Every structure is written in structure tokens, then in C-alpha cells.
Amino acid sequence: MTEQARLRADDTTAGKGTPRGLRLLSYNIQAGIDTNQYRDYLTKGWRHVLPSRQRIHNLDLIARMLRGYDLVALQEVDSGSLRSGFLDMTEYLANRAGYPYWYRQVNRDIGMIAQNSNGVLSRVEPGWVGRYRLPPGNGRGAMVLKFGQGPDALYVCTLHLALSRRMRRRQFDFITDLFSDARHVVIMGDMNTSCDAREFRHFVDHNGLKEPACSKPTFPSWRPVRRIDHILVSNDLQVRNARVLDYPLSDHLPVSVELLLPERIDLAA
């Protein structure tokens, strides 16, 4: 199917295995690298370009933690380069954690050195998956999964936004246009901005979204002071539980949300 610049609520889709409660998790896994202090960025920086036996152990710990969720959004995964031992981390985590459906999006292809990607693991089969390059198109992306059909379809997006405020504004505008016709939306990922930033507040308010746990920081994982990892949900979606999890297996902490879906949203429709 051709990916369009805007998602429309009457797109066709199919899916199976619908839970009424949906457990979501978003995690920047830093390519499977555990970081415990700022000094590690220097002394252990070689792990960003070379393979490490510790990386597989860390991925196994991450996979164990992921098993309790229905849908997981991953950022900074590697899709098969030298540093990962040519391992597709999204596929590996899906297999280790028992997810039947997994999808990846390579955002920055540096050949054998790195395959920086977004990933999604799901226990429910989406009817459609779209992949988009975020402006300015040099290494940031958004991946969208659609569940259900008609005006009550649920769209779930994972993304990793830029460090620059100016670029984030452009990227937020792109996402706003992408979901302008969608009624039920979940947006998960590393947004590199806090809840009180002007561009973040404008995006949330303009699109009828909410962030259930903004008071809880996620970065750096060993002494979190900033909330830059988020799960945003449409205002009409009920949130039963929102948490930042104390699993410092990366330089970010994971964020989780449990949604209670209205009866009119049928993921398997």
C-alpha cells in the first residue's frame, strides 16, 4: 500500500486477538548498551561501534522485562551492524519476549557501523504499518500501526525526535498533519523535550492529547532529572495506570501506560 502524507480514518485494516485493556511500553534501549554514569559515555563509548558480549546479556534482561506488555515501542535499536554482531535487535527481542508481530524502521543507515532504527513489538496484528521520514529527513523517523477500521480505528505511533528545538517543531507539525483525520491516537517515544517545553505543550494541546505521568523523569537512568520519554494518548482514551519503570538497562528509563479501550474501538475489526 502506498504511504500517504496523511492518515485517513476510512483506511481498510484487519487484526486479531483484541484485549480490552492495552498495556503499552516505550523504551529507548541505546542499542542494548547499559550506562550507569556519565563517565561511561567516554570509557565505554566503544560499544557504540564494536560488538560486546555484555550487550546480549543486557538485551536478554530487556526482553524479560518486555513480556508483560501488549505493544512495545523501541527507539535506538540496531537492525544488524558490526556493533550488534549483525543482530537485528527488534527481531531478537520479539523472539525472546514471545511477540508474534514485530516491525522495524531504519532511520540512519551507516552501513556496517550502525543501523539506527525504531522498532515495534505487538501481540495484536495490525492491519497496516506505515513508515515516515521526519523532516529534515536525515535520520529521524516515525512508524505508525493501525488497528481496527473506520472512524474508531486506533493509530499507534513510535518516533524519535531531534535534539534541536527548531527541528522538533517541524517534526511535531509533520505528526500533527499526519494524524489530522484520526480520532484515537497513541504516540510513544523519545521526544527529546520536557513536558513544559513550548513546542511540546502546543503539540499536545492542539491535537487533543494528554501525557499521564509528566512529573516522573526518565533521563539519565541512573539519576533521572528530565522527562524526555513520553506516551501521549487522545483525551477520550482512559488511562488506568501510567508509570516510569525502574529498569536502568539503558541511559533512559522505560515508560508504561495501561489503556482501557472504549467498546467502540475493536482492534480485531
pLDDT band at 163 (very low <50, low <70, confident <90, very high): very high
pLDDT band at 114 (very low <50, low <70, confident <90, very high): low
Domain annotation covers residue 268:
no
On the question of pLDDT at 60 being above 90, the answer is yes
Q: What angle do CA 199, 135, 183 make, to 5 degrees?
A: 60
Pairing of strands 229-234, 184-190: antiparallel
CATH code, domain carrying 164: 3.60.10.10
Q: Which pLDDT belongs to residue 37?
A: 76
Of residues 195 and 139, the one with the higher pLDDT is: 195
Domain annotation covers residue 7:
no
Give 190-207 pLDDT, tens digit per residue.
Answer: 999 999 999 999 999 999
Q: How far apart are the first and last CA of the chain?
A: 19
On the question of pLDDT at 82 being above 70, the answer is no
How many Cβ atoms from other residues are within 10 Å of residue 170's Cβ?
15
Distance CA 42, CA 33 (A): 13
Residues in contact with 78: Cβ distance below 8 Å, sequence separation at least 6, in sequence order = 31, 32, 84, 87, 88, 89, 114, 115, 116, 117
Give 25-40 pLDDT, tens digit per residue.
Answer: 999 998 788 888 777 7
Q: Which pLDDT belongs to residue 139?
A: 85
Of residues 130 and 107, the one with the higher pLDDT is: 130
Q: Which pLDDT belongs to residue 34?
A: 83
Distance CA 123, CA 163 (A): 32
| Maximum mean pLDDT: which of 47-56, 77-86, 150-159 | 150-159
Of residues 108 and 146, the one with the higher pLDDT is: 146
Domain annotation covers residue 57:
yes
What residue numbers bound the domain in which 31 lies?
21-260
Domain annotation covers residue 87:
yes
Domain annotation covers residue 214:
yes
Mean per-residue pLDDT, 235-241: 92
Domain count, the chain: 1
Of residues 118 and 110, the one with the higher pLDDT is: 118
All 3 cell numbers of residue 247?
A: 529498569
Q: Which pLDDT belongs to residue 46?
A: 54
Domain annotation covers residue 107:
yes
Distance CA 18, CA 152 (A): 14
Residues in contact with 263: Cβ distance below 8 Å, sequence separation at least 6, in sequence order = none
pLDDT band at 225 (very low <50, low <70, confident <90, very high): very high
Domain annotation covers residue 10:
no
**Bond preceding residue 100 cis, omega within 30 of 0:** no
On the question of pLDDT at 85 being above 80, the answer is no
Domain annotation covers residue 154:
yes
196-to-48, 82, 201, 203, 214 alpha-carbon distances in Å: 31, 39, 6, 11, 9
Residues of 25-50 as b/e, b for ≥16 C-beta within 10 angstroms? bbbbbbbbbbbeeeebeeebeebeee
On the question of pLDDT at 87 being above 90, the answer is no
Of residues 89 and 81, the one with the higher pLDDT is: 89
